[in-house]
Structure 1
Amino acid sequence: MAAVFKAFVAALLLTCLAREGFCEECSLDTINILTERTGVEIQGKPEWKVTVYNHCKCRQGGIVLSCPDFQTVEPVDPNVVARSADGRCLILNGNSLAPSATVTFKYAWDPPFLLLPRQSTSFC
């Protein structure tokens, strides 16, 4: 009986710890997008460097940015960012971004586009 009680308490304790952060889901607020001008011009358009940063303590995959009307005169690696017809940009082909990691890409257009996190899946 005592062994069953100890196992129950241990399971309860582990559940409480998991809910307090060890298995925390990441919100879209933990994906930060920084867009900065590089100072380079391509075909008369300013070049912009975009950095996607994962602030969560878990890996995040399937990161999708809202990018309606996104276009560029500079080629962008589709393995880094791929735009779909519905105005969404998939980052890293959906592969995960490690905690505190970044991925960057550049594009050239005027004016710069407002890119916002729209979707992600956390892997804790």
Structure 2
Amino acid sequence: MNERQLEYFRRKLLAWKAELLSDSRDTIEGMKDATRNIPDIADRASEETDRALELRTRDRQRKLVSKIDSALRRIEEGEYGYCEITGEPISLRRLDARPIATMSLEAQERHERRERVHRDD
């Protein structure tokens, strides 16, 4: 992968991270503003369910930010774009679709097949 391509992915990852962090700040502000005493038990339960879903979504995004940071670190260390299992280059199309990918498509498919087999046990 050449320097121009690495810079493209670095910028893509940084923009994605900034968007996630912005969404997270908005959620925190929204949750602070939405804190209120709801007398109807059904409405309160609905609000709590919505809040739990939002928090679960934010937790997933927090984990995604960690993966983005890891990808950015791999770019800096010259390891970005190579499969951690086979050492082979990951296709640019795969990286464009999933810039945090750490495995080639073939390695990922093998990994998922093994997971499914072991999960059924």
TM-score (norm 1): 0.30
Higher strand share: 1
Higher relative contact order (CA 8 A, sep 6+): 1
TM-score (norm 2): 0.31
Higher helix share: 2
